[in-house]
Amino acid sequence: NAGVTQTPKFQVLKTGQSMTLQCAQDMNHNSMYWYRQDPGMGLRLIYYSASEGTTDKGEVPNGYNVSRLNKREFSLRLESAAPSQTSVYFCASSKTSGGNTGELFFGEGSRLTVL
Amino acid sequence: QKEVEQNSGPLSVPEGAIASLNCTYSDRGSQSFFWYRQYSGKSPELIMSIYSNGDKEDGRFTAQLNKASQYVSLLIRDSQPSDSATYLCAVNMRDSWGKLQFGAGTQVVVTP
């Protein structure tokens, strides 16, 4: 019963390097999300995907790209990492999208440090 | 102005007492409201959802919603050391349908 699986759990990058965070869910959920969490800032939405084939920007999309590969997988790419992208990244999924969406299931998080 | 505001704490609560957490939001048209619990170093987990004015109880947790005053609260009765965590308020706002806005969270510390 894996739920939402993120990889890698830890990563250290140098400024300018690129990387992709992978996320997969096995709950047959339609919607998937990428959040970042910084001290004192709470969770901020980077991108989300309401359904397979669609993506939308969240609150802090600059410097990131996403791909909804299929219903199960939603990846987050940093093309040229910057120290300001040092954060903990959470992938989440939910069964539905729209007004009552709120029951999110989170992955364990990926801690990224950019030097 | 933040769209969802919470006191950061820490809120220190004696074991067995009631912990009261508050959250205010800016969008009067918001329809759905959620409380998540996050233990240190772990991911958030949903503990309560509330959609209409009034109280909703689930075990030792009670969520209270007042749309006219634009606040939502969480009460934790008979607080236990295992309740020590950060509690995140989340709101589905009318102008960002389907995208939850999270508060920064309130840290709760239950002392034996």
Q: Over its length of 115 residues, how does chain A's per-residue pLDDT go in tens digits?
A: 679 999 999 999 999 999 999 999 999 998 999 999 998 788 999 999 988 889 999 989 999 999 998 999 999 999 999 999 999 999 999 887 655 567 899 999 999 999 9
In this structure, of A39-53, A80-94, B71-85, B89-103, the range with the lowest mean pLDDT score is B89-103
What is residue B103's DSSP assignment? P
Question: Which pair of structure tokens corresponds to residue B64?
Answer: 């209270």
What is residue A95's DSSP assignment? S
Chain A environment of B51 (Cβ under 8 Å) = 100
How many Å apart are CA A74 and CA A92, to the nearest integer?
10
B23/A contact by beta carbon, under 8 A: no
B87/A contact by beta carbon, under 8 A: no
Contacts of residue B51, defined as CB under 8 A and 6 or more positions apart, other chains included, come to A100, B31, B32, B33, B65
Q: How far is CA A87 from CA A37, A41, A42, A100, in A?
A: 6, 11, 11, 28
Nearest CA in chain B to A38: B104
pLDDT at B41 over 70: yes
Give residue A105's pLDDT: 93
* Residue A48: closest CA among B46, B88, B98: B98
Sign of CA dihedral B101, A19, A83, A5: positive
Average pLDDT over residues B72-95: 93
Paired residues of A51 in beta bridges? none
How many Å apart are CA B112 and CA A33, to the nearest integer?
38
Give residue B93's pLDDT: 75
Which amino acid, one-letter code, is at A108?
A: E
CA end-to-end span of chain B: 37
Neighbours of A28 (CB within 10 A): 9
pLDDT at B67 over 80: yes
pLDDT at B32 over 60: yes
Chain B environment of A90 (Cβ under 8 Å) = 43-44
Cβ <8 Å between A48 and B98? yes
B32/A contact by beta carbon, under 8 A: yes
Instruction: Look over chain B and give the mean of its residue pLDDT values, rounded to a whole number.
Output: 92
Which is more confident, B106 or B27? Answer: B106
Give residue A106's pLDDT: 96
Paired residues of B58 in beta bridges? B61
Neighbours of B9 (CB within 10 A): 15
Contact criterion met (CB below 8 Å) for B21 and B108 = yes
* Residue A45: closest CA among A26, A55, A16: A55
